[in-house]
Structure 1
Amino acid sequence: MTEHEIKIAFKEYDTVSELNSQDHNLCLEAKKALATSHSPYSKFRVGAALLLKSGKILHASNQENVAYPSGLCAERVALFHWGANHADDPIVSMAVTAHTNDFPILKPVTSCGSCLQVMAECEKRQNSPLRVLLYCINGPVWVIDGIQSLMPFMFFEERLTQST
């Protein structure tokens, strides 16, 4: 038997004001994206903002549907928009934040497994790591360099991309 250990790394800032101006701005852009959330069922709004290498910022929010599995998280809305419209302009950073009036959010909200897998695919597609800022409004910000620290066992099957 072999025992393995996985370690993750991330930085935690007490508030968004501790970030450099580029990261601070991206977090505020994610907060702006909350306004377009369609979340009448959960009342849990999520906003995402992508900073592209060109300097362009893409905004997205969660989109719910009465048929619950038909909705989509803000992260995947943003990443699929990037892939369909801006794949030649690499993603530098992604900020994600959440808000609800039903209870206080005291720490950053992490992305679901499906979103993490899509983030991993985007990293692979652009051949560079994706920097993720998980921003708690009026709370801490977690900065993660690369999806490996969020999802160490992401799914990749190289044979699926090989030509026959």
Structure 2
Amino acid sequence: MAKKLNLNIEIVTYDSLDELSKEDQELLRLAEEATFKSYAPYSNFNVGAALILENGEIVTGNNQENAAYPSGMCAERSAIYWAGGQYPDQTIKTIAIAARKGEEKTFIPISPCGSCRQAMLEYEVKQESPIRLLMKGEKDIYELQSISDLLPFKFTQKDLFE
């Protein structure tokens, strides 16, 4: 007999940066700043990410495109891989994402692509604690408490070894 599953994902929305902690405000500011350093001549879509580690260190990343499209790298993975390489024993607490089109200075809230979701989930599983996600728009800011919320039917190392 068929069963119906209900998935409940809590997303908190904020109307203003003032509603966030100073730490979150700074992360979002750095994510916005990182969009201006992206290399996106093909998509003209600039994405920046900033994450904070348990030790207080902040790492930023941005999208880097390539004429051979699959060779590019998203902002979220740029930041998370740098953090993993430089601070392998540090827990990632929060990652903030900002995006804008072309030369516009208006930010739009975007959700990470599937590859970034999977990469961030890997670190969440590895560190055995959730990674908060902040997505910045001009009017709305979205907060999720865990990357797992983006992948309710996730694929992890447990699927490989259990």
TM over 0.5: yes
Aligned pairs for 1:29-108 (under 5 A) are 29-101=30-102, 107-108=108-109
Q: Provide the aligned length of Structure 1 versus Structure 2.
A: 161
Return the letter of the residue paired with 2:89: D
Q: Distance in 1 between matches of 2:158 and 2:149?
A: 21
1:160 has 2:140 as partner: no
Share of identical aligned residues, percent? 38
Q: Calculate the aligned-residue CA RMSD, in Å.
A: 1.8
Cα distance change, pair 51–106 in 1 and its aligned pair in 2 (3 A): closer
Counterparts of 1:104 and 1:26 in 2: how far apart (Å)? Answer: 17
Matched, 1:118 2:112: no
Structure 2 Cα separation of the partners of residues 58 and 159 of structure 1? 30
Deviations 1:51-83, CA, capped at 9 Å, x for gaps: 011111001000000011111110011111111
Return the letter of the residue paired with 2:101.
T
Rounded Cα–Cα distance in structure 2 between residues aligned with 1:109 and 1:127: 25
CA deviation after TM superposition for structure 1 residue 127, in Å: 0.9
How has the CA–CA distance of structure 1 residues 107 and 47 changed in structure 2, closer, same or farther, with 3 Å as cutoff?
closer
Q: Where does residue 21 of structure 2 map in the other structure?
A: 20
TM-score by length of 1: 0.90
Q: Distance in 1 between matches of 2:96 and 2:155?
A: 23
| Long gaps (5+) in structure 1 | none
Amino acid at match of 2:150: L
Rounded to whole Å, the distance in 1 between the matches of 2:125 and 2:62 is 23
Contact 1:10 1:149 in 2 (8 A): no
Mapped partners of 2:107, 2:22: distance in 1 = 23
1:39 CA displacement:
0.5
The AA in structure 2 aligned to 1:126 is: Q
Contact 2:133 2:144 in 1 (8 A): yes
Q: CA deviation at 1:43?
A: 1.1
Task: Give TM-score, length-normalised by structure 2.
Answer: 0.92
Q: Tell me: CA distance 1:105–1:113, structure 2 relative to 1, closer, same or farther (3 Å).
A: farther
Alpha-carbon distance in 2 for matches of 1:157, 1:25: 33
- Structure 1 residue 15 displacement after superposition: 2.2
